[in-house]
Chains A and B, each alone.
Chain A
Amino acid sequence: MLDRDILITEVALRDGSHAIRHQYTVDQVTKVAKGLDEANVPYIEVSHGDGLGGSSLQYGISLTDEMKLIEAAVSSVKKAKIAILLLPGIGTMTELKEAAQLGVKMARIATHVTEADVSYQHIALAKKLGLETVGFLMMSHMAPTAKLVEQAKLMESYGADTVYVVDSAGALLPHQVSEKIRALKNELNVNIGFHGHNNLSLAMANTLAAIEQGATRIDGSVRCLGAGAGNTQTEVLVSVLDKLGISTGVDIYKMMDIAEELVAPILEKPQEITKDSLILGYAGVYSSFLLHAQRAAERFGVDSRDILLELGKRSVVGGQEDMIMDVAAEIAK
């Protein structure tokens, strides 16, 4: 068994689903999962971008049934564990059971940072099914640290093995990440994780700050294939950690090859910090709103940045994609 200081979860096959409008094919997932397994990535998350059951008119209909994608991922790995994401209110326990039957080994149960109590049944079921279980506190920038700690403790009490600070909007600054991770590390007994987005070009800095404060579970997306400007870029992250003498067990060369040969062709265009993804981080808006806001802007002839800024002002939370059309129509009036 390899000794790892940090356990990486590769999220491109889930978070990246947003960036490609949920159009993953079985072939793409098979190849990427196989490559990641060979590169010794310990966890690979596969689901609709909005988690199990996310395929919808609200968020985008999946090209391929996510259970087929999960099945493909499970059958193409030898060592890596396949993880799923589930947002109570969108996905249900029925889908969680189905995923567990397909051979998923880790369940990540996500709620808005102040709403952890809706995850009780799902965390308890995941544990009962024998899955490693993660509580995923999204939009962590929207609550003060004391609130975050209180909610993380709820997830811990439900049985979560790990609790994540999730910077869904890519809005956190390094000193804020440090403060939040430090507080969780002090107050909780379970593993602490961090999931970043690169909308303010801070995903790497935030990840390093999280690790410095004791986070041991870290998310990355290869080639930045995630919502908004993507996540902490996995192949870069494992290289940086290697230089810092922090072991992830991931093969750097192989990760680079996956990024270049398998993932770059999946992207419709290279991931960069565009004006819209920058505004997501600046205004604190859920990263998956990006493409929806661009489509609404085009339809109503308004500036997508105005839509996103307004959504930020209204404290819209993850999952409220319907507000985008509504706000765009209002601005156009």
Chain B
Amino acid sequence: MDKVKVAVLGSGNIGTDLMIKLGRSEVLELTTVIGIDPESDGLRRARELGYVTIDTGIKGFLEQPELADIVFDATSAKAHIRHAKLLREAGKQVQDMTPAAVGPFVVPPVNIQEHLEADNINLITCGGQATIPMVHAINRVQPVEYAEIVATISSKSAGPGTRANIDEFTQTTARGIERVGGAKKGKAIIILNPAEPPILMRDTIHVLVDGIEVDEEGIIASVKDMEKAVQTYVPGYRLKQEPIFDGNRITVFVEVKGAGDYLPTYSGNLDIMTAASVKVAEEWAKNKVSKIIV
């Protein structure tokens, strides 16, 4: 089948990791990498790999919009608000990897089917991508009254943006747990651990379910199915332990090892974001292609 053309906007760590992942896709064709610094490592690598590189930002891309139908925006929340408007006018489907949250929240194995036609979606946070699948996995068996997640990441994998706006992480993740995970109430905690060598990302999901009887078997099966679903696009995602049951309280432990494409394996938090965005774009691409055939 024909591949759908895509472009990466932003040539930092996330953009460069995306570039490497997109190079492997069977349904997406990365054509263009857009940055603002021709000397950046990301644009240099893009040139070496033979992609079209644009070093004049969004403006340069809009001069040749035929280069891509899907754009990944890995810049910043502030820049994305402007980009979102311009790209919508240009008729592009856009993935917002920043905390701008212009479009609806998407976690691929939970709700991508509802957003195949969206012109802009947001990927919440790394902690959201790692934990919301599990909140949903429990909620589809038994209603979740309250879900609380604790994301622990290595200090080295938390960039200056995350550090300076840490409330944005906790508040956005909590909203995602409710809107996408289905919990009546959500809460998120983030912890930075400076241990050397850096620790892998770990996420703990504490949940209170509704009802006196807890369907342990059903929940375990659903959680394990979800582990497999996430593994299809994040191979390093795994349950660390069997879920722990205590009355109506359930605790699930997850570890995320990055694929080590551009970012080191301890940056599972960044890897799950780039992997999720490629997954979303692939679903969009399949949807576009199927419509053409029909």
Which residue of the partner chain, among B146, B164, B193, B240, contacts A326 with CB atoms under 8 Å? B240
| In the assembled complex, A245 has its CB within 8 A of some CB on chain B | no
Q: In whole Å, how far is A292's beta carbon from the nearest beta carbon of chain B?
A: 12
Contact with B along A78-95 (1 / 0, CB 8 A): 000000000011101110
Q: A58-B148, A58-B150, A314-B195 are in contact. Are A93 and B167 (CB under 8 A)?
A: yes
Q: Are B189 and A319 in contact (CB under 8 A)?
A: yes
Which B140-179 residues have a C-beta within 8 angstroms of A? 146, 148, 150, 152, 155, 160, 163-167, 169-171
Residues of the B chain whose Cβ atoms lie less than 8 Å from the Cβ of A314: 195
Which of chain A's residues have a CB closer than 8 A to the CB of B155? Answer: 114-115
Which one of A35-43, A117-125, A126-134, A201-209 is at the interface?
Answer: A117-125
Give the residue name and chain of the B residue nearest to A120 (CB): B164
Q: A260 interface residue, CB < 8 Å from B?
A: no
For A113, the closest partner residue in chain B by CB is B194
Q: Quick check: is B206 within 8 A (CB to CB) of the other chain?
A: yes
Cα–Cα, bound, A251→B165 (Å): 43
**A319 pairs with B191, CB closer than 8 A:** yes
Of chain A, the residue at the smallest CB distance from B208 is A57
Please report the C-alpha to C-alpha distance between residue A172 and residue B85 in the assembled complex, in whole angstroms: 55
Q: Is the interface of B mostly helix, strand, loop or mixed?
A: strand
Contact A322 B253, CB 8 Å, known A58-B204, A316-B193 = yes
Is A112's beta carbon under 8 Å from chain B?
A: yes
Q: Which residues of A lie under 8 Å from residue B152 when comparing CB positions? A: 320, 322
CB neighbours (8 Å) of A227 from chain B are: none
B150 proximity list for chain A (CB < 8 A): 58, 319-320, 322
Q: Which residues of A contact B206 (CB under 8 A)?
A: 56-58, 322
Contact with B along A305-316 (1 / 0, CB 8 A): 000000000111
> Is B190 close to A, CB under 8 A?
yes
A320 to B170 alpha-carbon distance, docked (Å)? 16
Residues in chain A near residue B238, CB distance under 8 A: none
| Residues A88 and B166 in contact in the complex (CB < 8 Å), given A326-B240, A326-B241 | yes
C-alpha spacing A322/B206, complex, angstroms: 9
Residues of A contacting B148 in the complex (Cβ-Cβ under 8 angstroms):
56-58
Q: Which residues of A contact B165 (CB under 8 A)?
A: 121
Residues of A within 8 A of B192 (CB): 89, 112, 115, 118, 317
A325 to B244, CA, bound (A): 9
> In the complex, what's the smallest C-beta–C-beta distance from B144 to chain A, in angstroms?
12
Q: Are B166 and A317 in contact (CB-based, < 8 A)?
A: no
B164 touches A90 (CB 8 A): no
Tell me if A117 and B164 are in contact (CB < 8 A): yes
Residue pair B194, A329 in contact (C-beta under 8 Å): no
Q: Given A325-B244, A329-B244, is A90 in contact with B189 using a C-beta cutoff of 8 Å?
A: yes
Further contacts, 10 of them, CB under 8 A, given A316-B193, A320-B152:
A56-B148, A56-B187, A90-B170, A90-B189, A92-B167, A94-B171, A117-B160, A118-B163, A118-B164, A325-B253
Contact surface of B with A, Cβ cutoff 8 Å? 146, 148, 150, 152, 155, 160, 163-167, 169-171, 187, 189-195, 202, 204, 206, 208, 240-241, 244, 249, 251, 253
